[in-house]
Amino acid sequence: MTAGIDSWRDSDFGLLFFPQPSFLFKRCSSDKEPQNLTRVSEFLLMGLSEDPELQPVLCGLFLSMYLVTVLGNLLIVLATISDSHLHTPMYFFLSNLSLADIGFTSTTVPKMILDIQSGSRAISYSGCLTQMSFFMLFGCLDSLLLTVMAYDRFVAICHPLHYQVIMHPHLCGLLVFLSFLLSLLVSQLHNWVVLQVTYFKEVEISHFFCDPSQLLNLACSDTFTDDVVTYMVGLLSGFLPLSGIFFSYYKIVSSILRIPSTGGKYKAFSTCASHLSVVCLFYGTGLGVYLSSVVSLSPRKGAVASVVYTVVTPMLNPFIYSLRNRDIKRAMWKLLHKTT
């Protein structure tokens, strides 16, 4: 079905060595009997639907959403750079979040559109690993930047008099750099696990991109190692950032409740409304996809659900931050007037 795929029946003689790449392999520990394993040079992305009549609709829909995502997030970055009033830590983090969203959606959507147009579903082994690496890099970076932004709101509301001293440019740059560094570590750690295996149970991935969880499910490797790395990745990219966000908002809510006037409470909470909306959208859809994959045994349904956090959420973020923010809207209008 695909070029460069060799079938192999695992032997009962223990461990096998292969010269290229020179990794150690063994039979799937969950299998009681030997089964056909496949050494792959490429995978097949099954996409969202195999119905030929839906392909033009999907192509037009995802192309439109991708263009809106890129243009919307790019507009926020350019507006932040061009307006000196937006040269603050909050908008500095927001512009980096917009860049991460562009990278996040660019990792998956263009490939899917190209597959629909060409009619080819193949992706090379190295291409699949590269896509998975960037997907985890930008996804983890999104999560960590949302945590950094929660810390920024915590300092602004709980320590307003010391805000300029605490959130100085060097610390802001350091927080973004550490977020990128940790995201890179998580993505490469996950890639390292997959690189240990070149033999898979099958080559068809029931998704429109190389989803890390599905790829590990297809791999013939030590499940204990996979589970340890998966939990570690989940801890670094999910649990710890979310715990930081919860702690920050616990302190924020406690401070807001101590404000005597209703107007003061509303003003303080309104500064966090956009960020809180994005956090709920990002983690809510991610948790929904996870729960749907647990409840449903169909990987195709999980692929459809993952469209929300891989495509829809990055597209909505610019609207959430701009619709309720006068500074952003003013900067965008100035930028549009300059370009016209």
195-227: buried (b, 16+ CB within 10 Å) or exposed (e) per residue? eebbbbeebbbbbbbbbbebbbebbbbbeeebe
Would the pLDDT of 192 be above 90? no
Closest of 209, 248, 213, 217 to residue 233, by C-alpha: 213
Q: What integer pLDDT is reported at residue 63 of this predicted model? A: 94
Q: Which pLDDT score, from 0 to 100, does residue 8 have? A: 37
Residue 21 pLDDT exceeds 80: no
For 98-152, the pLDDT digits (tens) are 999 999 999 999 999 998 888 888 888 888 889 989 999 999 999 999 999 999 9
What are 242-275's pLDDT values in tens digits? 899 999 999 999 988 888 888 878 888 888 888 8
Q: What is the pLDDT of residue 189?
A: 83
Q: Which residue has the higher pLDDT, 146 or 294?
A: 146
The pLDDT value given to residue 134: 93
What tens digit of pLDDT does each residue of 209-233 get?
A: 888 777 777 777 656 666 676 677 7
| Residue 9: predicted pLDDT | 36
What does the mean pLDDT of the chain come to? 79
pLDDT bin (cut points 50, 70, 90) of residue 5 is: very low
pLDDT grade, residue 340 (50/70/90)? Answer: low
pLDDT band for position 292 (cuts 50, 70, 90): low
- What per-residue confidence (pLDDT) applies to 96? 95
Domains of the chain: 38-339 (1.20.1070.10)
pTM: 0.82
Single out the residue of 27, 171, 172 nearest to residue 93, CA to CA. Answer: 172
| pLDDT confidence band for 291 (50 / 70 / 90) | low
Amino acid at 73: N
**Residue of 281, 312, 317, 246 lying closest to 93 (CA atoms):** 317
Instruction: Give the pLDDT of residue 31.
Output: 45
Output the six-digit token pair for 297. 């045994």
Count CA atoms closer than 13 A to 106's CA, side-chain side: 14
Confidence bin at 19 (pLDDT 50/70/90): very low
Contacts of 9 (CB under 8 A, 6+ apart): 34, 35, 36, 37
Contact 122, 43 (CB under 8 A): yes
- Separation between Cα atoms, residue 82 and residue 79, nearest integer Å: 5
216's tokens = 């590990």
**DSSP secondary structure code for residue 86 in this structure:** G
Most confidently predicted of 5-9, 114-118, 175-179, 274-278: 175-179
- Backbone torsions φ then ψ of 296, nearest 5 degrees: -95, 140
- % of residues, the chain, pLDDT over 70: 79
What is the per-residue pLDDT for 221? 60
pLDDT of res. 69: 94
Say whether pLDDT at 85 is over 80.
Answer: yes
Residue 38, pLDDT > 80, answer: no
Top-confidence range, 43-52, 100-109, 224-233, 331-340: 100-109
